[in-house]
Amino acid sequence: MSSSSSSKRSSDDSPPSSTTGNSPPPHLGAFYYLPDEILMQILRLLDPKDAAKLCFLSKLWRYIISDNDLWIHFLQNYYPDPWDSVLFAETNLSSGYPLPATAAEMSHVSFRNVYAQRAQLPSSVIIDGGSGYCKFGLSDHAYPLGRSATFLEFGSVETPMYTRLRHFFGTIYNRMQVKPSSQPVIVSIPICHYDDTESAKASRRQLKEAIYSALFDMNVPAVCALNQATLALYAAKQTSGIAVNIGFQVTSVVPILNGKVMRNVGVEVVGIGALQLTGFLREQMQQNNIIFESLYTVRTLKEKLCYVAADYEAELSKDTEASFEAVGEGWFTLSKERFQTGEILFQPRLARVRAMGLHQAVALCMDHCHSAELVGDGDWFKTVVLSGGTACLPGLPERLEKELHALLSPEVSNGITVIPPPYGVDTAWFGAKAIGNVREYLSRALVYNEEAIPSEL
């Protein structure tokens, strides 16, 4: 306990002048004589509910129980979310959307209030609609409950949009065995219609309107729809930076400042994704007479054996052979295919794809961010967060960081950090989970049934 609380105890609890002897104040009893550190150790043995009950005994007990360190202990030991996620959410996201530009705008956090608010807040349904697979679950669960085919096919929205969305959301709720009317829902939306043009804005608005309409017609009380790039950044405990999502068919490079996608600065799109990598590995296996039964086997081998070389030319002269046993198909042995597959992210021409390399797209985005000279931290764009299943390839963060240093001027490249997907393929889902238990964020970001759809897209 802090020294200020000790002085408060000694001054406020001094026995009245009419009291003889050294009898303790009745509201503290024998606890009055305990050193502060011993008293706090005893309080830590209580569970949060019992500790909270002591607040009703007296103002002094309320003051003692409000100690931030005590409630940090309770959050670390009794709350399902990791402490660093709770701390990030409550100090960076709790002000609601839009996020504050500087830390000075954040108020002091009472973690006793944080615990109380989170205990009372109903869990939210989280639906991460990616461009390949959807992850769904509840915000008070440690992990997603399940996965299914997404409502987006090959990275583009299929029509009729409303009908497909209604069927998709109905299937998810049935699998979760949750009534749509019981909880708010957070939906992640893949970055699509990338430009800042009026037609692109209209397309994004159309998608959001279809999502809201489908969910509200199912009697969902409130909806929060955010793009995947922003949620991936939140999962990495960041509110500003560049989110790089390697999707099913394309890779998006998205600059984000204080939680807002900076489309006017420029979102870069690379025409290569997980589908192309899996297809390239399939071709290499066929050329080397490696027999397999399904594309699922190829994808499994990509996930289990492939990696990104730090130096592609040097890797060609190494012995890189490795084996993996696929269920029902036996053992597979790959060699150069292991790193050649990931290399097409940097050299798309190897797969006969006419596109920028990943490093070139990120460098171009960084140059635009640097030239924009936006108000705030001049290095806001130097944190790169990767997301998507293919982004989990070993060696990718290190290779991308190396290539960026080689491409960019020292002024721009100094301080660059590339963060691998914080939660693997579930990164965006966990970003939604970070805001799913923050009352203030949800109260400002949610769209309710009777309200208009926000115009800022």
Axis crossing angle, helix 228-235 with helix 427-436, rounded to the nearest 10: 80
404 contact partners, CB below 8 Å, separation of at least 6: 359, 362, 363, 366, 384, 413, 416, 418
DSSP string, 295-343: HHHHHHHHHHH----SSHHHHTTS---EEEEETTTEEEEESTHHHHHHH
Residue 220 in tokens: 């969902």
Amino acid type, 211: I
Query: Measured on CA atoms in the order 190, 444, 121, 219, is the torsion positive or negative?
Result: negative
Which domains does the chain show, CATH number per domain? 3-78 (no CATH), 81-229+425-457 (3.30.420.40), 238-421 (3.30.420.570)
How are beta strands 260-261 and 268-270 bridged, if at all? unpaired
What does the angle CA 164 – CA 192 – CA 393 come to, to the nearest 5 degrees? 100
Distance CA 424, CA 135 (A): 12
Distance CA 435, CA 432 (A): 5
Among the listed residues 177, 281, 182, 188, the one whose alpha carbon sits nearest the alpha carbon of residue 227: 188
Residue 117: both structure tokens together: 């608010």
Length of the chain: 457
Contact partners, residue 353, CB within 8 Å, separation at least 6: 271, 272, 276, 344
How many whole angstroms separate alpha carbon 321 and alpha carbon 290?
14
pLDDT at position 103: 55
Q: Is 16 left (phi over 0), alpha (psi -120 to 50) or beta?
A: beta
Q: For the chain, how long is the longest CA-to-CA vector?
A: 98
Say if residues 98 and 260 touch (Cβ distance below 8 Å).
yes
> Strand, helix or coil at 363?
helix
- 268: how many CB neighbours lie within 10 A of its CB? 22
pTM: 0.87
How far apart are alpha carbons 400 and 445 in whole angstroms?
A: 34
Look-up: residue for tokens 């099913």?
248
- For residue 8, the model assigns a pLDDT of 43
**Beta partners for 251?**
246, 270
Q: Which residues are within 8 A (CB) of 44 and not within 5 positions of it... i.e. 6 or more apart?
A: 70, 73
Pairing of strands 260-261, 383-387: unpaired
For 447, list phi and psi in degrees, rounded to 5. Answer: -105, 125
Tokens (6 digits) for 199:
């037609």
Q: Residues of 61-82 as b/e, b for ≥16 C-beta within 10 angstroms?
A: beebbebeebbbbbbeeebebe
pLDDT in tens, the chain (457 residues): 344 444 445 444 444 443 445 566 666 777 878 888 899 999 999 999 999 998 888 888 888 999 999 999 999 999 888 999 999 998 888 877 667 766 555 557 889 989 988 888 888 999 998 767 889 999 989 899 998 877 555 445 556 788 888 988 999 999 999 999 999 999 988 777 777 788 888 888 888 888 999 999 999 999 988 889 999 999 999 999 999 999 888 899 999 999 999 988 989 999 999 999 999 999 999 999 999 988 999 999 999 999 999 999 999 999 999 999 998 889 999 999 999 999 999 999 999 999 999 999 999 999 999 999 887 788 999 999 999 999 999 999 999 999 999 999 999 999 999 999 999 999 999 999 998 888 777 777 777 764 434 444 4
